[in-house]
Amino acid sequence: MTTPEQPNLREPDLPRTAKVRPKALRTGWTTGTCASAATKAATHLLNDGRPRQWVEVGLPSGRRVTFAVQRCEPVADGAQAVVVKDAGDDPDVTHGAHLTATVSWRAGTGVELAGGDGVGTVTKPGLGLPVGGPAINSVPRAMITQAVTEVVGHRGVRVVISVPEGEKMARKTTNRRLGIIGGISILGTTGIVRPFSTAAWRASVVQAVCVAAAQGEHTIVLCTGGRTERGAIALLPHLPEVCFVEVGDFTGAALRIAAERGIARVVFVGMVGKLTKLASGVLMTHYTRSTVDTGLLGRLTHEAGGSETLATEIDRANTARHAYELWDDAGVLRAAGDALCHRTRDVLVRFGGLPTDVVMVDFTGHTVVAATEPAWVT
């Protein structure tokens, strides 16, 4: 029986050359940028009585951008304006949302910001926002304040941001699990939505782990996708929903923040393909940036007591799923799968420094076929 070599842990940088596409994808605007534009239009109307069809706002980078104003009109005690969000070519559930700002004068100086209909309320710690307040992150808050200040200086203005249909949109997000109830979040760090943004997904993974830690949870369950998450919840029904994090390809980011935030234990649940990449030491497992090492699976076949012929066949398998099927046909799926789980656990422990268990599920995501500990098999 041969002993596999130690993996070279890595979470590679983005490739230097972007994947060639037949057509460039359009960038879009965050809810925070659109809210700041609506706020500026409404503040202009409040200040001088003249509705604007176009407004210019500043992004955090200092760049200035111009937005069309869909509606700008007086309302009781103030003014209201609407800017429609264009998310570009990003599959964003808030694309087309009507970011609405209602502004009014108030006593004192500075901006008082509130959330209206369709903007979520924060109910759990860990988001960097006051519990009980609106889910409007720090960068959008600063942009909205800047928009008001550019028009009226430091005069006292109350701004209420609302999003018609925002509560319905939020059902397609992870807001409820994070403790954001009643609507969407007003988000953005650069003001720009970049299509299919890996940065956005990575940030959501980090945020989910932070929320679990802030609620005093000591265990997180990292799942590679929706099917594995549903299977993990069935496997560990005693854990609160907040403990389950869909990491996609960002296992490394999740492990780092878990260690920083004092998480005591990690359970990783995945299918054979992702586990094989992790067992090879690849923490960024996206298909465009890493490949499955079937040679590793061939070596693990030896470790599990498989024949030389089977190991050679596994080594030449087309995909990890093909190797899985060959293991199953040869009757060594459990033994080889356990070896793969142990190898993966070694990698994750070395990278994150936390006690970790690994569970491999079948392609439905529900049936445990291998694990680092027999107790996980149900």
Amino acid at 268: F
Kind of pairing between the strands at 111-115 and 28-29: unpaired
Contact 184, 122 (CB under 8 A): no
pLDDT of res. 284:
57
Q: What average pLDDT is seen over the chain?
A: 86
Query: Using an 8 Å Cβ cutoff, are 368 and 377 in contact?
Result: yes
Check pLDDT > 80 for residue 246: yes
Residue 188 and residue 33 in contact, taking contact as beta carbons nearer than 8 Å:
yes
Mean pLDDT computed over 322-331: 90
Q: Among 60-74, 122-136, 354-368, name the most confident range.
A: 60-74
Q: Minimum mean pLDDT among 7-11, 49-53, 86-90: which range?
A: 7-11
Kindly list the domain boundaries of the chain, sorted by start residue: 28-193, 198-376
* 295 vs 282, residue with greater confidence: 295
The number of C-alpha atoms within 13 Å of 76 and in the hemisphere containing its C-beta is: 0
Residue 105 backbone phi and psi in degrees, to 5? -70, 150
**Could you give the maximum distance between any two Cα atoms of the chain, in Å?**
83
Residue 24 has pLDDT above 60, yes or no: no
Q: What is the structure's pLDDT at 194?
A: 60
Instruction: Give me the pLDDT at residue 155, please.
Output: 97
25's tokens: 């994808």
Residues contacting 277, CB < 8 A, separation 6+: 285, 290, 291, 292, 293
Residue 116's identity, in one-letter code, is G
* 59 and 30 Cβ atoms separated by less than 8 Å: no
Question: What is the distance between the alpha carbons of residues 290 and 137, in angstroms, rounded to a whole number?
Answer: 34
pLDDT for 13 equals: 39
CATH classification number, 28-193, choose in 3.40.50.2300, 3.20.20.80, 3.40.50.300, 3.30.2110.10: 3.30.2110.10
Distances (CA, A) of 231 to 72, 165, 218, 228, 244: 49, 31, 20, 5, 11
Contact residues for 283 (Cβ-Cβ < 8 A; gap 6+): 9, 10, 11, 251, 252, 255, 351
Give the orientation angle of helix 198-214 with respect to helix 251-260, to 10 degrees.
Answer: 30
Enumerate residues 6+ apart whose C-beta is below 8 A from 18.
none
Mean pLDDT of 304-332: 88
Model confidence, pTM: 0.64
Lowest mean pLDDT among 19-23, 38-42, 123-127: 19-23
The pLDDT confidence band at residue 9, using thresholds 50, 70 and 90, is very low
99 in Cβ contact with 183 (< 8 Å): no
- Interval 242-261 mean pLDDT: 92
> How far is the C-alpha of 304 from the C-alpha of 20, rounded, in Å?
41
